[in-house]
Amino acid sequence: MSQLIERVEADRALKTKHKALWSLGDYPAVAAEVIPATGPRLVEACGIRAGQRVLDVAAGSGNAAIPAALAGADVVASDLTPDLLDAGRRLAEERGATLQWQEADAEALPYGDAEFDVVMSCVGVMFAPHHQAGADELVRVCRPGGTLGLLSWTPEGFIGQMFATLKPYAPPPPPGAQPPPLWGDEAHVRLLLGDRVKDVDARKEMLTVDRFGSPEEMREFFKRAYGPTIAVYRSIADDAAKVEALDRALADLAADHFGPDGTTMEWEYLLLTATRQ
């Protein structure tokens, strides 16, 4: 019993840490200024239409949930971080979208079995630490014959490589936590979902990012707006040599992903849809 209590308390502490992480900086600015096309792309791939009941898991500020609502669906946007939900409510009101916003843990969703026609996540559930638990919940709340849709950064793409660059400077992850970009590996996601889905369609696509005029501008934006980057820099703030080395590594990585015109970047993601058995 004591071990169970310890696990529950450790998980609660981890989720509290995740809430704080995604409250850092300005993730809604990342969603709106850097990756706005990802949400509508996922909505399109899922074939979301009027009358469907849709759940967006780890919805953030509604990058996919708001377009789904504007398509006429009955949408619930769930996320662990209340600050992101508050930002999403404001954005939805500005865009004339009506949907529900609910604080929820992607690994323990407060919804009934088979409750939704579409269950999706746009670079969201990939950041839940325990991948199988998150996948099990996605499948559980989707009705038989319903659609699962996931858009996730690949390990080989820019964001996946950024996490690899940050890793040597970051504190060790908690026991059992898995790297987020694994959700961008088709084989990994197929293993998570197993035989509970059929008609899997997985494709790698590129997001064109034209927000930054230089590698250094990209790095500085992520240092002030993106929670995971901010957290790593805070952990090494007392070591000037490490800060300088990480600054250089991130700028070099960004430079490698700028196109010949020097104004656009190409970020790879995995777009996967499937039908619940």
CATH code of 198's domain:
3.40.50.150
Average pLDDT across the chain, whole number? 96
Give the position of tokens 């638990």: 133
**Is residue 114 in a domain?**
yes
**Is residue 269 in a domain?**
yes
**Is residue 247 in a domain?**
no
Calpha distance 88→90 (Å, rounded): 5
Query: CB–CB of 263/252 below 8 Å?
Result: no
Indicate the SS3 state at residue 156.
coil
Calpha distance 270→157 (Å, rounded): 10
Look at residue 3 in the predicted model and tell me its pLDDT. 67
**Is residue 232 in a domain?**
no
Calpha distance 227→60 (Å, rounded): 12
> In this predicted model, what pLDDT tens digit does every residue of 241-268 receive, in sequence order?
999 999 999 999 999 999 988 889 999 9
pTM for the whole structure: 0.96
**One-letter identity of residue 146:** G
**Is residue 217 in a domain?**
no
Q: Which domain holds residue 154?
A: 2-162+170-211+265-276
What distances in angstroms separate CA 223 from CA 161, 220, 227, 231, one per listed residue? Answer: 16, 5, 8, 9
**Is residue 79 in a domain?**
yes
Indicate the SS3 state at residue 57.
strand
Indicate the SS3 state at residue 27.
helix
Mean pLDDT of 165-188: 96
Calpha distance 181→12 (Å, rounded): 23
Look at residue 8 in the predicted model and tell me its pLDDT. 72
Domain count, the chain: 1
Residue 2 clears pLDDT 70, i.e. is over it = no
Strand-pair partners of 208? 266
**Is residue 61 in a domain?**
yes
**Is residue 259 in a domain?**
no
